[in-house]
Chains A and B, each alone.
Chain A
Amino acid sequence: MNEHAPALVVMLPIIGAVLIMLIRHNNLNWGIALLSGISTIYYSIILYLNARSVGTISYAMGGWEPPVGIEYRIDEFNSLLIALIATVSFLILVYAKSSLNIELKKNKISTFYSMYLLCLGGLIGILSTGDAFNAFVFLEISSLATYVIISMGNDRRGLLAAYQYLIIGTIGATLYVIGVGLIFIITGSLNLYDISVKLGDIELYRPLLASLAFITVGIALKIALFPLHAWLPNAYAFAPSVGTAFLASTATKVAIYLLIKYLYLVYGFDLVYSNQIFIFVVLSLSIIAMFGASMIAIFQSNLKKLFAYSSVAQIGYITLGIGIANYNGLIGSTVHIINHSIIKAAIFLAIGCLVFSSKIVNIDQLAGLGKRMPMVAVCITVSSLSLIGVPGTVGFISKWYLVLGSLEQGLWVVVFALAVSSILALIYVGRIIELIWFHAPVGGMVSQNKIPFEMIAVTVVMTIATIYFGIDTRLTGDLAKIAVENVLLGEQL
């Protein structure tokens, strides 16, 4: 079966999703979801090890040879992200059962698991496919599942958030298809590798530039790059906690990978970065995201919304590395994709625990949390500190590489922006930490549900990961280095 692993990592979650819709039995379905989650992890690790030992794997889907058939290309970069996303979403699934019982109506739980797996399958599909149009189909599969997940929460504003995201997400996907269509008209091919070869001997002219613009803007809508982020805060705030943790830690990261793939592997470094305006736009939008979104986060009263805006700011860090575009900058981006995924999973899972035990939605309700729920309070504190980038946490590693990268390019403004945005993060995180540890509990607390073991356990595991990978960077930093060296900068080095 191992030679079919590229197809299996995509198929297993989708098969699980269909089975769950057919069976519709809440507890049994949790089991099915866990089973397909863990088998996806197994095959993703096999994929990664294979990619490390034999190099890029090319898999012809259905036996149709590329470039005519759909090709799945697995390299050290995307298999690393597949393994990351499979693992994070499995851990969130373990956590999901109790949380969903509280937050969703009984008859919706099966549908939620089904949509969760469908979204996971779509995301892994985007990562592994080497076909431009196939990537669009997977983008829409995962997006459609996401809209359903967002609309399922108990808060009726979730419906509006889902609708808003549906409109913006569809426009984004359609812009992406327009870009792919222009490339198709120019090269007559949809296989990304084939396109990159054919573009190699074409000069930069207007249709090509237009396709680059369409694809970048289309994917940027999915990434929620700063001026295009309008859908994200409401979507994260009103989705069920499990859904928020899942989306925040996976969906935007996959879209960022797709953008990196286009910039580096399809259009190619020389073509994209010979264009000074492009670098300027990416860099300035990233810096505006880091400032603007952090500023807005400071004034939020809804806990989930605060961290949603912080996500927009953190996405700015990742795109900043893409804009810096040297070795260390790219490592910074790649490491931060992994690190931010872990941090945001930890934070939103901890918030899910709070919602579970005492329906905490707003920040002022956090007062005195350190005394009432010390475990969850420590998790929130530690993972928020890694958002700032305190040394010893994962956030520090990402910022370290980003600062190194910008110093090498002589971008002093960027270094300054990184420092100031960390201070802004300190303000909104500091407010939370102060409330948790230095304020007395508000009188007349609502009755508390006891948080089940598995919810606490997963949250603690995620939190420990944010510290562990901050101290021991062998797993995240070195694997990111290998990915950047072998895949993205293969020709430049």
Chain B
Amino acid sequence: MSSTIYNFISSYNYYVIIFLMISGLFIVVSRGNMVKKLVGLALFQTSVYILYISPGKILNGTAPILDDGYSIYSSPFPHVLILTAIVVGIATLALGLSLVIRVNEEFGTIEEDELFDNEPNNE
């Protein structure tokens, strides 16, 4: 019993990540509002950032700045990667939102139910 609890606590960050991931994906699938879908997408992407960041942390490790007082450092590598991924995520979100604005201009709605009702030719 105690080992189960120990396992759970030692990897609770992954449970959080999976929860965020699933909820993001669920929002994308279940919501019909185009902006809400993008919010879900952003949540989904953000959970992946944490997936990368969390294994980089080393117990008792400090920020990776060379100093005589410390010998254990956390890995800076995932942070660098995730900076790039955040930029990509922002670009995607910005493009998605601008598409939503254009859709609203052209169709007058951003609810998918109404959009696809108006477009019979759109299978």
Judge if A148 is at the interface, Cβ distance under 8 Å: yes
Judge if A411 is at the interface, Cβ distance under 8 Å: no
CB-defined contacts of B91 to chain A, threshold 8 Å: 140, 144
Minimum C-beta distance from B117 to chain A (A): 13
Q: Report the interface size class on chain A.
A: 20 to 34
Judge if A177 is at the interface, Cβ distance under 8 Å: yes
Judge if B22 is at the interface, Cβ distance under 8 Å: no
Judge if A167 is at the interface, Cβ distance under 8 Å: yes
Cβ-Cβ contact count across A and B, 8 Å cutoff = 72
Quick one: which of B97-116 are within 8 Å of A by CB? 99-100, 102-103, 106-107, 115
Interface stretch (choices B1-9, B48-56, B62-70): B48-56
Check B95 against A171 for contact (C-beta < 8 Å): no
CB-defined contacts of A162 to chain B, threshold 8 Å: 99
Instruction: Report how far A133 CA is from B34 CA in the complex, Å.
Output: 29
Check B37 against A167 for contact (C-beta < 8 Å): yes
Check B85 against A177 for contact (C-beta < 8 Å): yes
Instruction: Report how far A342 CA is from B109 CA in the complex, Å.
Output: 40
Check A234 against B44 for contact (C-beta < 8 Å): no
Judge if A174 is at the interface, Cβ distance under 8 Å: yes
What is the interface size of chain B, counting residues whose CB is below 8 A from a CB of the partner? 33
What sequence of 0s and 1s flags, for each residue 54-84 of chain B, a beta carbon within 8 Å of any chain A beta carbon?
0100000000000000000000001001001
CB-defined contacts of A140 to chain B, threshold 8 Å: 88, 91-92
What sequence of 0s and 1s flags, for each residue 205-236 of chain A, a beta carbon within 8 Å of any chain B beta carbon?
00000000000000000000000000001100
Instruction: Report how far A302 CA is from B91 CA in the complex, Å.
Output: 33
> Which positions in B face A, CB cutoff 8 Å?
21, 25, 28, 34, 37-38, 41, 44-45, 48, 51-52, 55, 78, 81, 84-85, 88, 91-92, 95-96, 99-100, 102-103, 106-107, 115, 119, 121-123
What would be 26 A-B contacts, judged by CB atoms less than 8 Å apart?
A133-B81, A137-B84, A147-B95, A148-B95, A156-B107, A157-B119, A157-B122, A159-B103, A160-B122, A163-B34, A163-B99, A166-B99, A167-B96, A170-B45, A171-B25, A171-B41, A171-B44, A174-B45, A181-B51, A181-B52, A184-B52, A184-B55, A184-B78, A190-B81, A233-B123, A234-B122
